[in-house]
Amino acid sequence: MLLRPIITAAFTVGIAVLAATPAAAQAGESGYAPVGKWLVSTVWADNEVFGYCAATINNGKADFRIGTDGRSWQIGTPYYGKKRKVEAYYGFGAAAEVAELSAEGDGWASMPIDRDQLNAFRSAPSFSFAIVNAENTWDLRGAGPAIDKTLECARNRGVPRTVQAAPPPPPAVRTGRNCPAPGSVRSKNSNRALNVTFFNATNMPLDIVWIGFDGTWKKYQTVGPNKVVKQQTYASHPWIAVDARGNCHGGVMIPDPNFRGETPEEQFQIWD
């Protein structure tokens, strides 16, 4: 079925500055918050006018993005052809339905979705796009919270509430050994999205914890002994590794936006 063109003017302007990958976010895009394996970001139009917010996930080959300006929703995937209208197959599982995607020559093809389709992204296990004989499938686990955070971002016009005003210090709490004092470390707003890996070189499982804009901690993953996990994040966003007793290992880990190494992404090795 063909989808109804329910897209606003502001959203149309915003879609023209979509980045090709999260690791190559353009100057018109800034980080809002990571949500599991999804990255929520703000896309700005000319003169720093709010365009829309989007949640992006990468399957190792290509990005998939769900975005909104607060009124309508749209999905997009990379496309580098010359056609302005692209026939594609899509589906929650197999790519079986037909749709016409719009391509603005910015490296993306996109289409609007309705509320029923948006709700399907919350419950379906996967989603596929087939464009020009190339099919990609993305794991939709965590899409519900990412969609909620994207809508929050749009309602805040792209600016995290915690950075709109100086946040109050978090309540005094007792932290474990080698952990930063409450409120002493916070995330800063960044437009540099990237991937990092955490290698647990200890003999115990560790929680990988993000320190938010207000200094609060939020667990994202658990990594077993001598195991590695990948995480999408932003430069200047601090992470810590916490054991079951609340003690920290490896210090505060902050991704370097200028990282150049033998591996595709920066790796943090966590020792006792």
Please state the rounded mean pLDDT for residues 84-102: 89
pLDDT at 5 exceeding the cut of 60: no
Give 6: exposed, middle or buried? Use CB within 10 Å, 0-12, 13-18, 19+: middle
**Lowest pLDDT segment from 19-23, 28-32, 112-116, 215-219:** 19-23
- Are 71 and 59 in contact, with CB atoms under 8 Å apart? no
Looking at the predicted structure, is the pLDDT value of residue 190 above 90?
A: no
pTM as predicted: 0.57
- Cβ neighbours, 10 Å, residue 174: 7
DSSP string, 147-177: HHHHHHHHHTTT--HHHHSPPPPPPP----T
**Cα separation of 199 and 244, whole Å?**
17
Q: Which of 73-82, 136-145, 158-167, 199-208 has the lowest mean pLDDT?
A: 158-167
How far apart CA 221 and CA 192 sit, in angstroms, is 21
Alpha-carbon span 138 to 76, nearest angstrom: 12
CB atoms within 10 A of CB 58: 19
Domains and their CATH numbers in the chain: 9-160 (2.60.40), 170-270 (2.60.40.780)
| Residue pLDDT, tens place only, 122-131 | 999 999 998 8
pLDDT per position as a tens digit, 208-238 = 999 988 888 999 999 999 999 999 898 889 9
Parallel/antiparallel/unpaired status of strands 228-234 and 217-223: unpaired
Instruction: Work out the widest C-alpha separation in the chain, in whole angstroms.
Output: 59
Task: Count the neighbouring beta carbons within 10 Å of the beta carbon of residue 57.
Answer: 24
